């Protein structure tokens, strides 16, 4: 029986690998409301908010999964090693530490020791919806707070602290920083559960950050990645709370938005990740408990 199980696992791994290397989309099952995908260059990680979609709940049933590059789940509940998180959303790996935005605090875990090494509370901000993360540099992250329409800069070196970058971004959600241009790209969920979230950019090159929209497109916008040498953005739009979500591509210079072809609509396309080397999009299907992996330029 043991030999049969090992053989089946080997066959399954080969099927997954073949699909990941080709143009066939892959769907990985077994998650609990997956919200975000990140990678440290060797493994991939998926944040699980818990069995019930309640992003602001401190219900102690959230966790982080660890996957191989070919989509195999290495360990379903990898972090924390003991206990649970609450409703982790955006995750980001920086210098061997995986950071996770969890309701009203930012947590960090050493990936080798699986030990928590960072904790920063945002309770005084009266937020219950810390969301997306992006790296500014090895010492600094940007973090969105969707329910308070704010974006923060977080120091992760030495004594942790944060400061406000900008307020008033409607449902501030997905973030991506471009170090070359010193611009922070952001997509919004919208205000009062209306699909009026925007695609915008914050110019960080001056003494005071300034925000502007770069496209007339609006929706329930969630994840964002920068592609084509910083010339384009790919972002996700839920459309509605059903299996109807899509990915869009935005030309930064013109603001023109076009479709990113997918094999199927997605139920809750959340904080996406782009593996540029393999040209693979990793898309959390939040409402379906799955992660979809697709070639960006599928034939």
Answer whether residue 7 shows pLDDT above 70.
no
Tell me if 124 is assigned to some domain. Answer: yes
Answer whether residue 3 shows pLDDT above 90.
no
Output the furthest CA–CA distance in the chain (Å, rounded).
66
- Residue 106 structure tokens: 């930012």
Mean pLDDT of 273-289: 97
Local confidence band at 297 (pLDDT 50, 70, 90 cut-offs): confident
Answer whether residue 8 shows pLDDT above 70.
no
Tell me if 5 is assigned to some domain. Answer: no
The pLDDT of residue 210: 96
Q: What is the helix (H) or strand (E) element at residue 67, kind and residue range?
A: strand 63-67
Answer whether residue 135 shows pLDDT above 90.
yes
SS3 annotation, 37-104: EEECCCCEEEEECCCCCCCCCCCCCEEEEEECCCCCEEEEEEECCCCCECCEEEEEEECCEEEEEECC
Length of the chain equals 299
Q: What is the pLDDT of residues 39-92, one digit of tens each?
A: 999 999 999 999 988 999 999 999 999 999 999 999 999 999 999 999 999 999
CB atoms within 10 A of CB 252: 20
Local confidence band at 299 (pLDDT 50, 70, 90 cut-offs): very low
Task: Provide the b/e sequence for 126-137 (b: ≥16 CB within 10 Å).
Answer: ebbbbbbbbbbe
The pLDDT of residue 234: 98
Answer whether residue 96 shows pLDDT above 90.
yes
The pLDDT of residue 261: 96
Tell me if 11 is assigned to some domain. Answer: no
Tell me if 134 is assigned to some domain. Answer: yes
Tell me if 3 is assigned to some domain. Answer: no
- Of all residues in the chain, what percent are helix, strand and coil, respectively (each to 5)? 10, 55, 40
d(CA 78, CA 66): 6
Mean pLDDT of 214-234: 97
The pLDDT of residue 193: 87
Query: Which tops the pLDDT comparison, 16 or 41?
Result: 41
Of 19-23, 32-36, 164-168, least confident by mean pLDDT is: 19-23
d(CA 146, CA 159): 25
Task: Give the domain range for residue 107.
Answer: 27-295
- Asked if residue 152 lies in contact with residue 184, where contact means CB atoms within 8 angstroms, the answer is no
The pLDDT of residue 298: 61
Tell me if 192 is assigned to some domain. Answer: yes
CB atoms within 10 A of CB 272: 23
Tell me if 21 is assigned to some domain. Answer: no
Number of domains in the chain: 1
Answer whether residue 130 shows pLDDT above 90.
yes
Tell me if 163 is assigned to some domain. Answer: yes
The pLDDT of residue 91: 98
Cα dihedral 53, 199, 148, 196 in deg (nearest 10): -70
Parallel/antiparallel/unpaired status of strands 73-79 and 97-102: unpaired
pTM for this structure? 0.92
- Can you give the CATH number for the domain in which 132 is found? 2.120.10.30
Q: Give the end-to-end CA distance of the chain in Å, rounded to a whole number.
A: 40
Of 189-203, 211-225, 285-299, least confident by mean pLDDT is: 285-299
The pLDDT of residue 23: 74
């Amino acid at each position: 029986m043991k030999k049969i199980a090992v053989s089946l696992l080997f066959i399954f791994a080969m099927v997954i690998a073949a699909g990941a290397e080709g143009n066939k989309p892959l769907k990985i099952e077994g998650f609990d409301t997956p919200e975000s995908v990140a990678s440290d260059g060797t493994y991939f990680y998926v944040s699980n908010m818990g069995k019930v979609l309640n992003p602001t709940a401190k219900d102690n049933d959230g966790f982080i999964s660890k996957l191989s590059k070919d989509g195999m789940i290495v360990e379903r509940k990898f972090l924390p090693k003991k206990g649970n998180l609450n409703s982790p959303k955006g995750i980001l790996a920086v210098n061997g530490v995986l950071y996770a935005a969890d309701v009203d605090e930012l947590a960090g875990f050493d990936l080798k020791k699986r030990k928590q090494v960072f904790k920063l509370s945002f309770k005084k901000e009266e937020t219950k919806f810390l969301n997306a993360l992006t790296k500014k540099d090895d010492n600094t992250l940007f973090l969105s707070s969707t329910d308070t329409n704010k974006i923060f800069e977080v120091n992760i070196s030495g004594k942790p602290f944060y400061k406000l970058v900008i307020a008033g971004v409607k449902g501030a959600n997905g973030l991506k920083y471009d170090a070359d241009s010193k611009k922070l790209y952001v997509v919004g969920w919208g205000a009062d559960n209306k699909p009026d979230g925007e695609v915008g950019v914050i110019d960080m090159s001056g003494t005071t950050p300034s925000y502007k929209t770069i496209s007339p497109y609006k929706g329930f916008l969630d994840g964002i990645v920068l592609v084509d040498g910083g010339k384009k953005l790919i972002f996700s739009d839920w459309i509605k709370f059903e299996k109807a979500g899509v990915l869009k591509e935005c030309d930064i210079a013109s603001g023109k938005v076009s479709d990113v072809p997918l094999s199927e609509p997605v139920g809750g396309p959340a904080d996406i990740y782009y593996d540029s080397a393999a040209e693979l999009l990793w898309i959390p299907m939040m409402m379906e408990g799955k992660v979809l992996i697709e070639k960006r330029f599928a034939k």
